[in-house]
Amino acid sequence: DTGVSQDPRHKITKRGQNVTFRCDPISEHNRLYWYRQTLGQGPEFLTYFQNEAQLEKSRLLSDRFSAERPKGSFSTLEIQRTEQGDSAMYLCASSSLSRGRDTGELFFGEGSRLTVL
């Protein structure tokens, strides 16, 4: 296992279309995070999972956004009826527990860049 992988790396779509991103975390990591990063800004938290449970969602995650992690392994982030403001880099990260505590260190994928025309 070489790290967190994300697919696709780039997606260009027309406004109103649906898109889905996939993230495969490091295999032994039970926590998975989604962030969004726009140009010149730091990554903004969207949501996170511990195993298959979605434990926290940001207010940034409107009802057009949905994330799943059905078996506690890979995760998907779907955006319905995309808008131009959704154009961003979508980052996935995973982390693990050490002696029952989250080490806090995030391992990031290289991101999925979305462009909405």
Q: Which residues contact 46 (CB under 8 A, 6 or more apart)?
A: 33, 34, 35, 36, 57, 58, 60, 61, 65, 67, 77
Alpha carbon 112 to its chain centroid, in Å, reads: 9
CA 68/CA 70 separation, integer angstroms: 6
Cβ distance to another protein smaller for residue 8 or 16: 8
Total number of residues that touch another protein (CB under 8 A):
22
Q: Should residue 7 be labelled a site residue for another protein when binding is judged by CB under 8 A? A: no
Nearest approach in angstroms of CB 59 to another protein is 11
Tokens of 48: 């996170």
- Which of 79, 111, 112, 114 binds another protein (CB under 8 A)? It is 111
Minimal distance, residue 60 CB to another protein, in Å: 12
CB 82 within 8 A of CB 15: yes
CB 45 within 8 A of CB 58: yes
Please report how close the Cβ of residue 105 comes to another protein at its closest, in angstroms. 6
Among 2, 27, 40, 71, which residue sits at the site for another protein (rule: CB under 8 A)?
Answer: 40
Beta carbon nearer to another protein, 34 or 116: 34
Binding site for another protein (CB under 8 A): 33, 35, 40-45, 48, 55-56, 91, 93, 102-106, 108-111
